[in-house]
Structures are given as structure tokens and as C-alpha cells.
Structure 1
Amino acid sequence: MANKKKPTGLGKGIEALFQDNNVDTSKEDVIDIKVSEIKPNPYQPRHRFDEKALQDLAVSIKNSGVFQPIIVRQPDPEVDSYELLTGERRLRASKIAKQATIPAIVRDATEEQMMEIAVMENLQREDLTTLEEAEAYNMLMTRLDLTQAQVASRLGKSRPYIANYLRILGLPSEVKDLLEDNKLSMGQARTLLSVNNKQDLIKLAKKSVAESMTVRQLEQAAAKINGKKGAKKKKAPRKSPFVRESEGQLQEKFGTQVSIVNSSRKKGKGKIEIEYGSVDDLNRLLEMFGVNLD
């Protein structure tokens, strides 16, 4: 049961809600909430936490307590149940330290704001891996029905920056695992996307890790692989500027390779091919199309 006090400073938008490290919260009411009554933020983009750092923080909390309150919301004021907005590490460390309660500030927040806060907090702290960051941008787009430009504007990024991260989601699962383990950099991942054949891409990614290849070396290897494969294929017909521009916009929207192929038999007919790199990537695209197979 929380030591209830009336929370203040609510309902002022995302800027007012995202006040953790940058704003003095001393004028807001801080209450002690049972750790067991706090649920994690369902939109937390981080998959992994540094266990050693959490253990160190837990020792500090056990000896000196939590100096900075976490921020939570209370979906139902009549029920002692809260959802975390910011302070994931402090909450986890408090659990490790076996603390019964934790100091917290309660603020009103919508589902949309919860999602944005979870992403913004981690981006400001640079806590996300390349893959986690890409998945976070995709979550904002699909769950909030935002365009790349809108996500970029909200987070203070450029649209090409967001687009490059979304393209990472089209990589095969084996390569995404290497990204998740920080064995590949963002620059290396972008270079690997240029490899046309999936199996060649996977082999080159593993070779890059094994041989500690630079981005430049990877670019040369990718060009060599594509050159060999391309020599065996019939040269594709040149596409019009309209088709190339349309492909570019579709690639930005879906975060993967898209090809518009005109029919050689009937004028004005053709097909649009959208590539996916894994089952997860296919599910991501289906969700964007509004296809629900549950």
C-alpha cells in the first residue's frame, strides 16, 4: 500500500512528464510505493541490462537508499497498482536489494506518452543497442501510426537517421543477433544491407566479426560479392525516375528493400515486391499493413 499523497504537476504534456534528471522535482510530492505494486513499462525498448552495474547500484541503495524518486502512473486511482514511466534501473536494483518500498512521483500519462517516455529516456542515456534503437523507432511508427518524419521530429533526429535504423530490421535474424551482442556496428550493418543474396550477407557478417573487418573492408567485400552475382544475371531494364522515386519512398516507409517491377507483357501492369529478412521482420510488415493473424 502506498503512503498516499495528492500528486501535482500533471497533465502538461510529454515535456512535463519527462522530468527526471533534468528538472528539480523537489516541489512535487514524493510517496513511498511498494515495489511489488509497480509494473514495468510495457514499452521499454531495452532488452538487456548490465547485471554488474545493477548489483553495484543495489549495494548503494541498500546502504544509502534511493536518492532520486522514480516516476510512475496510476491507471486506476482506486487500485494500488502502478506502471513505471522512468527509473527502470533504480526499480530493478531496489528489487535486488530486497527493498520493500521505493520513493516515487505519480504523474498522469497516456499510453502514447508512456511509449515516448520509454524511448526518450533510453535515447538520452544512450542505453540502447543498435537493434533496440531500430525496434524502438518501429514501435513508435506502428503503434502511434506515425511517419518517419514525425518520429524524427518528435525525437530531434533527422529523417534519414530514422530511415537507416529501420532498414536494419530487414537483416536476417543471424545478423541481428550479432548486432544485439554489439559485435557489429551500425556502419557495418548498413554496409551488409547492400549485399543482395541473403546467404552471402550472413556469411560476410560472420566473416566481418571473425576478422574484425573495418567498414571500408566490408564495403569492398560486399561490392566484390555483388559483382560476381551480378555478372551471372541478365541486365535489368532501366527504370524511370518516377519508379525509382516511388521505390525510395516505399523503402523509407517500410524500412526494407522494395522493388516495383513492370510487366513485360501488358503495359501498365506489374507488381511490388517487399523483402523481409526474418519471421519477426515479416510480422513487423504485416502489422504495418494492419494484418492481425492472432
Structure 2
Amino acid sequence: MKPSQFAKGFQARPDTTSSEKRTALDRLNAIDGLVEDKPKAREVTGRASQPVVDAVVEAPVIVENESAEYHAWRVQHAYRPGQIIELPLKAIKPSPFNPRHFYLKGSIAELAVNLAKQGQQQAIHVIPDYQTPGTYYVSDGGRRVRALKEANKEVVKAIVVDLPIGIQSYKLGYDLNVQRDSQTVFDNAVVWKRFIDDKHFQSQRELADHLGLDESTVAVALSIGKLPEAVMQEMVARPDRFGSNMAYQVGRYHGARGTESTLRLINRIVADDLSTRQVADIVKGRASAQETPKPAGRQRYAQRLEIKLDGVSVGDLKSYGDDRLELRLKGLSKDRRDEILQQIEQILKTK
């Protein structure tokens, strides 16, 4: 990709079309509306020698505020905005501005099994690489692309969208992931550090202003981004235990003790369910990583069951002694939470 293509994306303010600002979900809903309202075109076979779309002959579609590059591509391929087409998987590549960096192997494998059985139910969003015709950057759906490859599929259902490859496409994906609760501090740590290192932003304050975040949030993420990826990978698998505060303390410990000791500390945090305050005491030298004092009266659980919903860890169920259970869940939608609560109440009412 040419450097100018990167620069073009960063000159635009995020989520702006013409003079009107729109949120990420507004854009997604607009695309979904087009998918529902427009007639479907016949799907292509994915062979490189064929046009991208074998479309129904209709009057030219006029789209306001579309870029010149996208308009030229759309006319060349007779593509209607919002149309779902099939593209060869080998033509799809990750965007350098993908907000996600970490993908859990277990989650990808589970999704691959579902896709192999049920097929792809939701189209991904892609952006044409105008510098390399016939290839596309993923704007939304990186996890599905990886799972389709894992399932040995050759094509992917996609909607081709009009976005630059730059901060605008990053911000769109970031906003969507935040609202889906799939964006992690570790994704932010790696990507934001790369933005600073590559001089896309001159300071953490400039980055924070552009993302609409508090500067301290960006500072914590950039601090975590100094960790080796192998250390972050250990924490990514346990989002219920390693939020930004815990990861920040782990990063401080790594700066003083190195990778091997940090990996042992991470195992200790999981095994003994250490709190962030306890880890902070270890970092300050008030306690040993091997012999961490527990609060008086704290009881070690006898058994722990990790709870997953749709392949994502949302908490755990712990048993203590002969008569105690402790259930902790977070990151649920309100409807899902209420549904689980009703089920628990129903179980407790039964004799």
C-alpha cells in the first residue's frame, strides 16, 4: 500500500460523511437497510477471471457523497451498495487499521465448526484495495474470515463498503467492537502503540482526542503495550481476570522482574484469584509473588467452572466447602442478564 493511502485515511475525522457525523452503528444499520431493500444479485463463483458481480441489469444507482475510487469500482463491477456477493477468501486480507489484534484459537475453532455446519449467516464488510485490483481489506468480520479459513472454505459472503483505509475505518471497527464488548485493552495496547511508533499520531494526547477518550485510558494501554506479546497472550485468554488495571500492574512487574517471573505471576493470579490490590503489593515489594498473604477469613474455592456464552468467557462458578456457591458474570446484555436471573430464580423455587 502506498504511504499516501495511509495519510488519506488519517486526514479524515472519524465517522464523518460530508457535513454530517454518523456513529458506527448508524452506518451499519444503513448498510443493513440496503441489504433488506435491494434485490439480491446472483452470487459469483469466486474465479478470478469472472467479474466481481453478475448483476441484474438495472438503471445506474446514484449514491450521494461516495468517493471517486469507490464509484469507479462500483460502476466497473455493476455493484449496488449494500449488495451481498461472494468473494474468494484468498482475495481477502487484514486491514493495517484493524482494531482487533488478538483472536483466541479456541473461539476461532468453535466458530469454524458452526460455519462448517450452518454456513455463513452474516456477511463481512470489505474495502477494495484500489492499488491492487481484485483484493480487499476486511473492515468488519476478521473473526469470521479466520474461521472460514479454518473450516477450509474458499469463498466468503461480503458487502463492499466505501471507506478509506485509515483512521476512519479503524474508528468504525473500534466503535462496533466496543458496543459488542469484543474490544480488549490488549488489542488497544498493540494497535495504539503501533500508531504512535509509526508517527500516525504525534502524542498520546492527540490519539486520545481523535478517539474521544480520556488521555489516562490511552496512557494505561500504551504502558501495557510494552509487554511482550507472549505475556499479553496469557492474559487475553482470561478477560474476566485481566482488565486494564490488573494488566497495568502486571506490566509494572514485568519492567522490574522480566518475562519468566511475570508468566509465573500470571499463573499465580489465576490459581489464587489474586486481587489487583494484592498484585500491586507484590509490585511494590510488600508481598512475595510466591507467598501472597490473603485477607483474613478468605476461603480457597474447591472447584471453579469457567462460563462461556457464544464461545466468549463471561465469568465463572465457584464452589466452597460443602454448602457455598459463588456465580460471577459480566459483559452480558441486559436481556441476557435478566433471562439468566429468571432461570436461577426458577431453579431455586423448585424442590
Which band: TM-score by shorter chain? Answer: 0.5 to 0.7
| Counterpart for residue 7 of structure 1 | none
Tell me, which stretches of 5 or more residues in structure 2 are unaligned? 1-15, 35-81, 288-351
| Counterpart for residue 275 of structure 2 | 214
Once residues 228 and 106 of structure 2 are traced to their aligned partners in structure 1, the CA distance between those partners, rounded to angstroms, is 31
| Counterpart for residue 265 of structure 1 | none
Once residues 245 and 215 of structure 2 are traced to their aligned partners in structure 1, the CA distance between those partners, rounded to angstroms, is 17
Once residues 266 and 142 of structure 2 are traced to their aligned partners in structure 1, the CA distance between those partners, rounded to angstroms, is 34
Residue in structure 2 matching 1:110, options 160, 164, 167: 164
Structure 2 CA distance for partners of 1:218 and 1:37, relative to 1, 3 Å? closer
Q: TM-score scaled to structure 1, two decimals?
A: 0.57
Contact in 1 for aligned 2:101/2:191 (Cα 8 Å): no
Contact in 2 for aligned 1:152/1:158 (Cα 8 Å): yes
| Counterpart for residue 256 of structure 1 | none
Secondary structure (helix, strand or coil) at the match of 1:132 reads helix
Once residues 237 and 192 of structure 2 are traced to their aligned partners in structure 1, the CA distance between those partners, rounded to angstroms, is 19
Secondary structure (helix, strand or coil) at the match of 2:32 reads coil
Deviation sequence 1:207-258 (CA, Å, 0-9, x none): 46424432222233333459xxxxxxxxxxxxxxxxxxxxxxxxxxxxxxxx
| Counterpart for residue 186 of structure 1 | 244
Give the AA of the match of 2:122: Q
Once residues 117 and 213 of structure 1 are traced to their aligned partners in structure 2, the CA distance between those partners, rounded to angstroms, is 36
Structure showing the higher helix proportion among its residues = 1
Give the AA of the match of 1:116: K
| Counterpart for residue 136 of structure 2 | 82
Deviation sequence 1:49-70 (CA, Å, 0-9, x none): 3444434433443444333221
Identity of aligned residues (%): 22
Give the AA of the match of 1:33: L
Structure 2 CA distance for partners of 1:197 and 1:123, relative to 1, 3 Å? closer
CA drift of 1:189 comes to: 3.3
| Counterpart for residue 155 of structure 1 | 211
Count of residue pairs the alignment pairs up: 216
Once residues 52 and 62 of structure 1 are traced to their aligned partners in structure 2, the CA distance between those partners, rounded to angstroms, is 15
Once residues 172 and 101 of structure 1 are traced to their aligned partners in structure 2, the CA distance between those partners, rounded to angstroms, is 35
Residue in structure 2 matching 1:100, options 151, 154, 168: 154
Give the AA of the match of 1:100: E
| Counterpart for residue 29 of structure 1 | 83
Q: TM-score scaled to structure 2, two decimals?
A: 0.49
Tell me, which stretches of 5 or more residues in structure 1 are unaligned? 1-10, 227-294
| Counterpart for residue 136 of structure 1 | 191
Contact in 1 for aligned 2:95/2:165 (Cα 8 Å): no
Q: Aligned ranges for residues 1-294 of structure 1 at < 5 Å?
A: 12=17, 15=22, 22-27=29-34, 28-76=82-130, 79-112=133-166, 113-143=168-198, 144-171=200-227, 176=232, 178-182=234-238, 184-192=242-250, 198-199=256-257, 203=261, 206-207=264-265, 209-210=267-268, 211-224=272-285
What root-mean-square deviation, in Å, do the aligned CA atoms of Structure 1 and Structure 2 show?
3.8
CA drift of 1:98 comes to: 3.7
